[in-house]
Amino acid sequence: MSLGNSWHFLPNNDDVVFLSATNEFGLIVGGAFRVNEVVSIGVDYYFGLTKISSSGGSIDGSFYDLHMRNEFVQLTVEYSFGRIGGGG
């Protein structure tokens, strides 16, 4: 289990993407369940604490405030091929 995670967006070129050279920090939690000796499944959830981009304004007289953060859910399936080296 990991409680913190740090990202650095590449490429480092502002002409290519607005996330260039942007650092991000967030929280990640997850868990895994072993189905049998060789298969396990898991899920992770990440919530970015760093604002990636912000915007604000007015549309038809209604004010809005937008803050973009990274957020994702990751499903994992792991399969063990056995011991490396073949040990006794």
Quick: pLDDT tens for 7-62: 555 555 555 555 655 677 888 999 999 999 889 999 999 998 887 777 888 888 88
**Which pLDDT band, with edges at 50, 70 and 90, does 1 fall under?**
very low
pTM: 0.60
For the chain, give every domain's residue range: 5-79
pLDDT of residue 55: 82
How far is CA 25 from each of CA 4, 18, 28, 62, rounded to the nearest angstrom? 7, 17, 10, 31
